[in-house]
Structure 1
Amino acid sequence: MKTLVIYTHPNHQSLSYALLQQVLKGSGENPRISEVQVLDLYEEGFDPVLVFNENKRRRDMHKDPALEKYRNQLLRADRIVLIYPIWWGRPPAMLLGYIDRMFAANFAYRDSGKLLPEGLLKGKSVVCVSTMKGPPLYPLFWLNNAHKTLMRRALFRYVGIKKVKFFEFGNMESPKGRHAAKLEKIYRYFKKAGA
């Protein structure tokens, strides 16, 4: 199994970065994982801004030469792992910009003439590992699970990815946040996880 880890946090001293290290450690000890590639969007200097004009048309996004490297990463991966904080109830703008630019028509999906398009990324799985300052049940009770709905239904199912797992860790700025237990949970999951 080939894994693409998309890390989205500007600070390498963050808990998100510590979670990245546990994903890599567990994956490295998992005999089912043959390859792990990390895309650090901030370190990469990924440009999240969409531009449409006379030279860049929306219908041509799927063949933008500047994004070929990233398209190849997504196509190669059997599993996509997203590591990010939840800010204002949603992923960072950097990650949303990556999604806007990468999950384009005729690459991630194709119009089918039906109510929903044909997803072109079928057979892949996704794991979302996110952190937030608020309590763990805050997104469920206060935001009506908007984060999971956005990621699972509005994005991944739309492009054909049905297998999506979430780790949402709350209270991460609290000294009672049980950081070590959460890091261990991620390590154990990736050490044992199958496709």
Structure 2
Amino acid sequence: MRILVVVGHPLTGSLTHALAAAYAQGARSAGAEVRVHDLAVTPFPHDPASRADLRAPDGDTTHLDPAVAALVDDVRWAEHLVVLHPQWWGTYPAVLKAYLDRVMLSGVTFRYRSGSLPTRLMQGRTARTVMTMDSPGFWNRFAYRDAAGASLGRATLAYCGYRLTGRTTFAKVRFSSPEQRTRWLATTARLGTRDAARRGAARPSAAPVPA
């Protein structure tokens, strides 16, 4: 299993980072090959200079900034994508939105079709999301209308063809105890082990880019 872990937090040392490390360790212990995009320390140009920076005609990324092209290559490589992030202002930090804009490109993860829904180029691949938040669950559902889940899970990952295998939310972080956080880390490590142990669950529809 080839797994890409995306840490969607702009500051190092966060709980999101600890959860990502636990997931990666669990996955590797079960034999998965894991790559990590830590957006707190991964430099890439957040703002596109032109519309061409948001397109990859026929999958061609040679026109992109090399840092962005390398991130795209890892997305193509991965059979399973895991995105971890905190809930900020009802959704997720700007650094994660910039990442999605720059790497989930037309021609790579989906292809437009005239007058119909796009071709979902990530079909056969799977994804999981893990979110931390201070809000109680009922507030996220009724006040925020689960904006993060709709934006990331449905409007982005499912739109590109990923099959969502799980969505985990840890709350309320600000009021959690060290013991509770330890349990969250153990839960996330088990998710990594479980995902890595799946056999034949992910069969990418397109050949991965050579590493």
Question: CA 1:112–1:17 in 2, change beyond 3 Å: closer, same or farther?
Answer: same
Corresponding residue for residue 185 of structure 1:
187
- 2:38 maps to 40
Q: 1:60, 1:190 → 2: CA distance?
A: 31
Who is 2:100 aligned against?
99
- Paired residues in the alignment total 191
C-alpha displacement of 1:159: 1.1
Asked if the contact 2:84/2:130 (under 8 Å) is kept, the reply is yes
Secondary structure, aligned partner of 1:74: helix
Amino acid in structure 2 at the alignment position of 1:184: A
Tell me the TM-score normalized by structure 2. Answer: 0.82
Shift of 1:84: 1.2
Say if 2:26 is the partner of 1:22: no
Distance in 2 of aligned mates of 1:129 and 1:72: 23
User: CA 1:110–1:165 in structure 2 vs 1: closer, same or farther (change >3 Å)?
Assistant: same
1:8-57 Cα distance to aligned partner (Å, 9 max, x none): 223332211110121122112113x2x1011112201222212227xx56
CA contact (8 A) 2:79 2:126 kept: yes
Supply the distance in 2 between the matched residues of 1:26 and 1:81 (Cα, whole angstroms).
13
Secondary structure at the aligned position of 1:21 is classed as helix
1:73 equivalenced with 2:74 (yes/no): yes
Partner secondary structure for residue 123 of structure 2: coil
Equivalent residue number for residue 82 of structure 1: 83
Structure 1 regions of 5+ residues with no counterpart? none
Query: How high is the TM-score relative to the length of structure 1?
Result: 0.88
Percentage identity across paired residues of the two chains: 25
Aligned residues of 1:78 and 1:125 also touching (Cα < 8 A): yes
